[in-house]
Structure 1
Amino acid sequence: MIEVGRILFIYLFGYLFSNWIWIPQPFVLADFFIGLITHPFEFLAASLALFFGVLLSGGLIKEFIHMLRDARKKHLLLLKMFELVILVMVFLILFQFGWEQALVFFCLSIVYGTISLES
């Protein structure tokens, strides 16, 4: 049950991050930074949503990698694989809201999940 709540919060944080960070099309770096400066509260909220979403999804990725190392618990491995499939589906849904934001969210989650492993 806790994992379902975690995945829902990952979706919520990813959705909020995608909605609060505006990326102009075509992309102009100056316009992007002006948008961040003129909307500081949205930028702060989006940064917090990104931070907490990466923490949660990176933690799930880290747990999955740990579970792969300890392959003796097959029933838990299947459960973690199911959770990972749901996490990938969440990221695919987030790609529909904004692919640039979802790509940043996804890449940072993978980097955090792999860096936080202890050998």
Structure 2
Amino acid sequence: MLDSDGCKAPPSDTITLPEKHAYSLFEASHKYDIPNLQDFCERYMFSSLNASNVLEILEISDVCSNKTLKETALNSIVRKMEDVVFSATYEGFAPNNLHLGVQITREFLMDAKTKRINGV
């Protein structure tokens, strides 16, 4: 595929893709069942997870039914709840992903309950 775009690299070189391309590749690897590419993209998303991209990673993990990535994203959101929920990104995310908004709320409340029970 890269040949057709005039993008060639020797086999020993690596190709660096912008973050958004990694998300698209992850979705494509899920759709076309390409496990090695899925694993690579998943590792990339785990390593790059932060407050500014966590909602997009949550959305992608939901679309691709990736339970591990989804749980990691939800846990990250709970830890950085204020940064995430009060961001401009969340404003656009919430109306388009009502079910994920509910899951975020439930995870946050379960975390608060666990901390309260454990006296943390």
Q: Which structure has greater helix proportion?
A: 1
Pairwise same-fold verdict (TM > 0.5): no
TM-score normalised by structure 2 residue count: 0.42
TM, length-normalised to structure 1: 0.42
- Structure with max Cα Rg: 2
| Structure with more contact order per residue of length (Cα contacts < 8 Å, sep ≥ 6) | 1
